[in-house]
Amino acid sequence: MKNLKFCFLAGAVAVLSLTACNDDKMEDNVLPNSQTENAKIEQPGDLQKSCSYVDQYWSSTAVLLTGLQTSADTNFMNGQMTKIASMWGRSNPTLRFVNDPSNFNSTYNAISYSNGKIYYGYAIYADAKNKGGDIVNAMILAHEYGHQLQYAFNLPSVNESTARPNELEADGFAGYYLRRPNGYNKTQFSEIASAYEFAQSIGDYQTSSANHHGTPPQRRSAVRLGFLLGQYSLSAADFDYNFFYYYQGVLNGTYKMGKNSRNPEIDAYMSQYMDELRKIQSGEISAEEFKKL
């Protein structure tokens, strides 16, 4: 893949062009514990593969559901979807859940589709809740919704030869949501950092791979940066501008000499945290120290 907005410009992907996906109608009256019959899973094309939470897709035996295993879990996720979209002033995407009774672990994924759908696997939901509670799934869902914002507003504004800008910005969108008063409303970073430990664990060091999502320290830096920007009410475009102003200065290890003249108030605030972000990115601030920021 060369110089492209990874989640949008599928024609520029240096692999196969985006393939059409089936859009099979599914029944909306499915009970949380039931299986849908003949509900084919919409397989991701190259566009969606770049916006997948982990590098695993849906198996041929997976089924599409309108709920999780309990009504409480289903209500939580549907409530979070409404809250996330509302915070951005937008309507909900279609949220559906994927189970595979014959291979549960094959559903360890969440995928954001460019046609306004988010599919969320049973396995990743269960593991996230077990390791970090509800906030981890709220974060993953906010990350996937970040890709919906990228689709809608032709973001990210920064291009690289990998998926890293898309994934790190989605991490930033998640950190932003977790802080905002009309979002998850966690004012102390220590309240969200332990949950984000789950997400950074899927960082990778395949820096030359087209599907590189960012290293674990970069992912920690991205969510910290998003959380810091949650001090301010921003549109998706304004978030993108500010995120990549500091992303380029911190996560890549280089620094801009000029001030962020477009948002001087934000720049004054962020100047307090630049060294900290650099140390997160470099690993000088460990994962354990990160949780205590």
Residue 196 belongs to some domain of the structure = yes
Residue 150 to residue 6: CA distance in whole angstroms: 10
Residue 181 to residue 175: CA distance in whole angstroms: 12
pLDDT per residue as tens digits for the range 130-149: 988 999 999 999 999 999 99
Residue 3 belongs to some domain of the structure = no
Residue 278 to residue 221: CA distance in whole angstroms: 8
User: What range does the domain containing 111 cover?
Assistant: 10-290
Residue 5 belongs to some domain of the structure = no
Structurally, how many domains does the chain consist of?
Answer: 1
- The model's pTM is 0.85
Residue 4 belongs to some domain of the structure = no
pLDDT per residue as tens digits for the range 13-36: 322 222 222 333 333 333 344 445
Residue 135: Cβ within 10 Å count: 20
The percentage of the chain sitting over the pLDDT mark of 70, rounded to a whole number, equals 84
Q: Is residue 179 exposed (0-12), middle (13-18) or buried (19+ Cβ within 10 Å)?
A: buried
Residue 256 belongs to some domain of the structure = yes
> Among residues 215, 168, 222, which one has the least CA distance to residue 192?
222
**Where would I find the beta strands (DSSP E) of 162-237?**
none
Q: What six digits make up the tokens of 191?
A: 């309240």
Residue 23 belongs to some domain of the structure = yes
Residue 267 belongs to some domain of the structure = yes
C-alpha dist (Å) from residue 47 to 16, 53, 92, 188, 205: 10, 13, 20, 35, 21
Residue 1 belongs to some domain of the structure = no
